[in-house]
Amino acid sequence: MALTRKFLKAMGIDEEKVEQIVEAHSETVNGLKDQLAGLRADAEKLPDVQKELDALKAAGDGGFEEKYQAEHRAFEEYKSQVSAKERKTAQEAAARGYFQSKNITGKALEIAMRGSAGEISALELEDGKIKDPAALDALINGDFSALVGQTVTQGADTPTPPAGGTGGGDSVNPRAAQLYTAYHSNLYGETKKE
């Protein structure tokens, strides 16, 4: 059933209202026709878009997945290398401190560090300290025993004073002898000289 002027007049609507209703209806229909034309144009483009999509699917992701996996592996390797380097540095620092605490210093320390590289790399650390230093103790008591420095405590050198009257010896200071005699006589009285 179509909306016509004749139909509207038959319903008893006056002429002015009929014109307004027909005009509003025409605007709605024309809008729907324009929308329909746009959708038809889009529908005609759909096969081309589908072909393009199929071509992209056939081409794959352009190797991005493989590139991502390669970069991810390289990054993980880099992280493990950095971690290993940090662990080695911490082990060497702990071993160096341990050797120094056992009186291995200077060039002997450098020799000990080079000679115990295998033992150092096998060290387990806990809070920056060596967990079990048995391997290093075995080296210190065995192969590195000659590298351990000995601490010797020596007192100050006391040289013999020069002879000649000012520091004792056989010579007697005449003034000191006079003072001694005067002091002695005041305390004990006169003494006989022999």
pLDDT tens, residue by residue, 51-100: 888 887 777 776 778 888 899 999 999 999 999 999 999 988 888 888 88
> Once rounded to an integer, what is the mean pLDDT over residues 133-155?
80
Which residue would you say has higher pLDDT here, 36 or 6? Answer: 36
CB atoms within 10 A of CB 104: 22
| Residue 166 confidence (pLDDT) above 70 | no
Q: What is the pTM of this model?
A: 0.44
| Residue 122 confidence (pLDDT) above 70 | yes
